[in-house]
Structure 1
């Protein structure tokens, strides 16, 4: 089997997992001494997010793995470390990968400490914040939420058709969670965000739970407008008005806005922080037992991204996950992600995170990388 990145053929299969080779990413780096890596650890701000000067990217510091990546964890299977490194090195663009054994004691990553655009991955933090409010008695899953034309957003929002035809709709928090997570509906997610208290409420949850290098942006409308170089207007939520306004911008304006977003994403998160959060969710330390079970069930019903990480797992494995996909500019996508919890037939669980900060690789090639990562995790399970 062959894959092609940027028109160049890439090599095929090794030991049961697809290994992509033949094109070295600009993400590849020179290994550094351990002491130097420690000196370059990201600095956490008061909200627990990695802080860097506006307009400056977080620099890579992850060398070829030679043992445990994160202090306090045991050693991952040596072959898996090497396999993940080779996959990461060969893929064109800025890519972050993190794997953590939930029922065990090890983790590994490449560019695991850097910030990557989350896009719809951030819907997970909204739902976690809502369920935490439910656990605290401040909300209920049966609480009703009205959604009108003034609430419409951009891009993927199937719920908008009902709002336009009916004038407004009222849905339970439970139904909004199901719609936001399983169908990645932006309107359902923003409605939950508004109901739980806005972006500051989600940031407060992230801080309270000490989730580390995870930022939460300003909401779908402002995030997407800012990434495109626009100032949000509610008229952009109608038809293809947003795309039209974006296309009318000077190319330099769009490129500058995209560059600023990629250099310092307002919704950025590190792969290792996300893997840790997934681990804590699976272990039941983020939410009540009832909310934990409920959310994992919802994540298990996700419809988006069936050919991403999920497709690399063998029969008998289960996967609960959340995807995220950003805007395109000049053949480059800003944010192409999948994060989730894989469960082996024997019940052992792994948090798997693959985030593409920027890549020009074809969509099949992106999915092939994700499948190769999850396939490698399954191959080395039990070794």
Structure 2
């Protein structure tokens, strides 16, 4: 039997529904201006940050590449993000990751002793505490080679790790498996030291460097133990205190890897770099890569560009 509702009940229900819809529409309309204003404010801040970074970069009088991303939110700023910049010792970071992946696979052990022949030493004038302390030959653990290469930026240790990782092809495959592009690890430190042009074969884009930092932060391609070890080595490094860390508050946690070239006869420096993960005061993480290339400016100016870019990003997203 059908139930027949009185007309006044149906009318009341209709009026209530209309009232509810109107209230919802009004609320949505009232929220739209606020959301639009917030988006407009963010867009303005991003444009201002972009201009600020462009102005900072001009002091180098060379090529400057920047890519900075808040990993948790995707907020970012870039300058020539896909340009090809010589990495110099920045490339010891992907080499270190590739070696630790071999450790995770059981092909290497951290405490395994590795013989280093004198013929593997980089030439005098290139940074190598391992060579300096062992003028003839050396035998060190994989763990110590990682510390020397990543924290101390030792060229000889890096070349031995390059060999242990399987060379350029194996490192390239590892990066490909991580879906990281725009990074090329082609030559050893010893080969790079032979002439000026070879360093440009080992390049990264700022975007590619941040891809790798994101993969590392997310724990892709490494066990938790290996990631923790490499993170400590990058955090404890004494290199580059005036670069990414230079203008940040004392005690800021920065896990980073620097890279530095010499200058040619014309006084042009090919590479003054720093890439890393900065822990912001709000607990988020800023992955940032700054490459300063082909610059006639002095070291103080070049490092100052990197420090000022990092500080600008910190001021924007560290609140």
- Give the structure 2 partner of residue 306 of structure 1: 241
* 2:92 pairs with 1:116: no
Deviation readout 1:28-68 (Å, 9 max, x if unpaired):
xxxxxxxxxxxxxxxxxxxxxxxxxxxxxxxxxxxxxxxxx
Equivalent residue of 1:308, what SS?
coil
- Give the structure 2 partner of residue 284 of structure 1: 219
Aligned length: 274
* Residues in 2 aligned to 1:355 and 1:216: alpha-carbon distance in whole angstroms: 16
Greater helix proportion = 2
The CA deviation at 1:225 is 1.0
- Give the structure 2 partner of residue 340 of structure 1: 276
* 2:276 pairs with 1:356: no
Asked if the contact 1:76–1:106 (Cα under 8 Å) also holds between the matched residues in 2, the reply is no
The CA deviation at 1:382 is 4.7
Gaps of 5+ in 2: 1-41
Out of 123, 132, 136, the residue aligned to residue 161 of structure 1 is 132
Asked if the contact 1:88–1:97 (Cα under 8 Å) also holds between the matched residues in 2, the reply is no
Asked if the contact 2:178–2:220 (Cα under 8 Å) also holds between the matched residues in 1, the reply is no
* 2:268 pairs with 1:268: no
* 2:71 pairs with 1:102: yes
* Residues in 2 aligned to 1:117 and 1:146: alpha-carbon distance in whole angstroms: 30
Equivalent residue of 1:359, what SS?
coil
The CA deviation at 1:95 is 0.9
* Residues in 2 aligned to 1:327 and 1:81: alpha-carbon distance in whole angstroms: 29
- Give the structure 2 partner of residue 232 of structure 1: none
Asked if the contact 1:102–1:350 (Cα under 8 Å) also holds between the matched residues in 2, the reply is yes
The CA deviation at 1:169 is 1.8
Equivalent residue of 1:341, what SS?
strand
* Residues in 1 aligned to 2:220 and 2:97: alpha-carbon distance in whole angstroms: 12
TM-score, normalisation: structure 2: 0.81
Asked if the contact 2:155–2:190 (Cα under 8 Å) also holds between the matched residues in 1, the reply is no
* Residues in 1 aligned to 2:227 and 2:94: alpha-carbon distance in whole angstroms: 13
- Give the structure 2 partner of residue 366 of structure 1: 302
- Give the structure 2 partner of residue 191 of structure 1: 160
Report the structure number with the largest CA radius of gyration.
2
Gaps of 5+ in 1: 1-73, 228-257
* 2:319 pairs with 1:380: no
RMSD of the alignment, in Å? 1.9
Asked if the contact 1:88–1:110 (Cα under 8 Å) also holds between the matched residues in 2, the reply is no
Equivalent residue of 2:102, what SS?
helix
The CA deviation at 1:162 is 2.6
* 2:194 pairs with 1:225: yes
TM-score, normalisation: structure 1: 0.68
* Residues in 1 aligned to 2:182 and 2:60: alpha-carbon distance in whole angstroms: 24
